[in-house]
Amino acid sequence: MDNKFSLERAVLKLWDKLYNWLDMLILKLPNILMAIGIFIIFYFIAKGTRKLFRKVLLKRVSQISIRDIIAKVIFVTILMTGFFIALMVLELDKVLTSILAGAGVIGLAIGLALQGTLSNTFGGLVLSFMDNIRINDYIETDETAGFVTEISLRNMVIRKPDNNYVIIPNSKFIDGSFTNYSLTPRTKISVSCGVGYESSLQKVEEIVVKIISENFEQKDDEAVEFYFTEFGDSSINFFTRFSVDMINSKQELFAKHKAIKLIKEHFDKQNINIPFPIRTLDFGKNNLQVLVDKD
């Protein structure tokens, strides 16, 4: 009887507990529905505000990465505001205080454990606000070269001329140096060559300057440069330097390709020799024997 009585009492207590919970749930149901509605409303507000900032307010910002980061921060901020208001509607103020306190402790622990990741994050913010690097710019670092396709809070994505992608952590990129070819529409390139010692140096200079000037337009403050550099082993070497439109490496390669063909073509017409190194093999006293098969 005692066991039966205790079991019944336990069941009654459990039923009372469930009944109280059901009663609380029914009483809180309007608050729950209101909290869910508030969170949904704030979600759409955050989504609409992000879209508005991207299309209208942030058009004055030329950096695509800056627009994306600001839009994401606005979206998360509005969404978290809706989440906290929903907790207040549910009268979970104590839970909210515990969440904020726990978030502070967890944030400190995560910050210590993920120093490298945070370094990349701050690096992404720095890169996003830099004026000398933008999306679609052609840059060259110590290890790679290509077009900037993405600047995120963690890394930078570069598309190389061979259409392969390189992902560089932001912290590593910031600590190094890079060349941005897209910042200036014009740049100087050099082409080196050599002529035989019997050549007329004045004639060589006139021909090179003339054909480069005729085929590569030089602006008002630009001019074709020509310099003999050294007496080589088999030639007198020179290089010419001139300005071309260039925002990526392909334009540089094409300009050099065209200049080399023009120089070679005009040197051939004028019988100007472009010598190449000649090596003489001296066998000394060693006799070179050739065995011939009579069959």
Lowest mean pLDDT among 24-33, 124-133, 244-253, 278-287: 278-287
Encoded amino acid at 235, one letter: S
Which of 257, 255, 230, 240 lies closest to 206 in space, CA to CA? 240
Distance CA 194, CA 206 (A): 15
Pull the structure tokens for residue 237: 């070497």
Distance CA 195, CA 234 (A): 8
Selected residue with higher pLDDT from 139 and 104: 139
Lowest mean pLDDT among 58-62, 186-190, 211-215: 58-62
Q: What pLDDT was estimated at residue 230?
A: 93
Q: What pLDDT was estimated at residue 112?
A: 47
Residue given tokens 């006799």 in the structure block: 287
Strand 178-180 versus strand 186-195 pairing type: unpaired
Q: What is the mean pLDDT of the chain?
A: 77
Pull the structure tokens for residue 138: 């052609």
Average pLDDT over residues 15-21: 68
DSSP state of 246: -
Order of strands across the sheet that contains 225-231: 186-195, 236-245, 225-231
Rg over alpha carbons for the chain, rounded to the nearest Å, is: 37
Per residue in 137-177, pLDDT (tens digit) is 888 888 888 888 887 777 788 888 888 898 888 777 777 77
Number of alpha carbons in the 13 Å side-chain half-sphere of residue 26: 5
Average pLDDT over residues 15-36: 70
**148 burial level (CB within 10 Å; 0-12, 13-18, 19+):** buried
Q: What pLDDT was estimated at residue 269?
A: 92
Distance CA 264, CA 125 (A): 50
Q: Report which listed range, 2-6, 126-130, 228-232, is most confident.
A: 228-232
Run of H or E including 49 = helix 2-55
Complete domains list, the chain, with CATH? 2-113 (no CATH), 133-180 (2.30.30.60), 186-269 (3.30.70.100)
Asked whether the predicted pLDDT for residue 37 surpasses 70, the reply is yes
Residue 294: which pLDDT band, with cuts at 50, 70 and 90?
low
Distance CA 47, CA 58 (A): 15
How many Cβ atoms sit within 10 Å of the Cβ of residue 126?
A: 13
Q: What pLDDT was estimated at residue 113?
A: 45
Q: What pLDDT was estimated at residue 291?
A: 58
**107 burial level (CB within 10 Å; 0-12, 13-18, 19+):** exposed
Distance CA 246, CA 58 (A): 29
Encoded amino acid at 149, one letter: T
Per residue in 237-276, pLDDT (tens digit) is 999 999 998 877 788 899 999 999 999 999 999 999 998 7
Produce one character per residue of 221-260: b if its CB has 16 or more CB atoms within 10 Å, e if not. Answer: eeebebeeeeeeeebbbbebebbbebbbeebeeebeeebe
Asked whether the predicted pLDDT for residue 43 surpasses 90, the reply is no
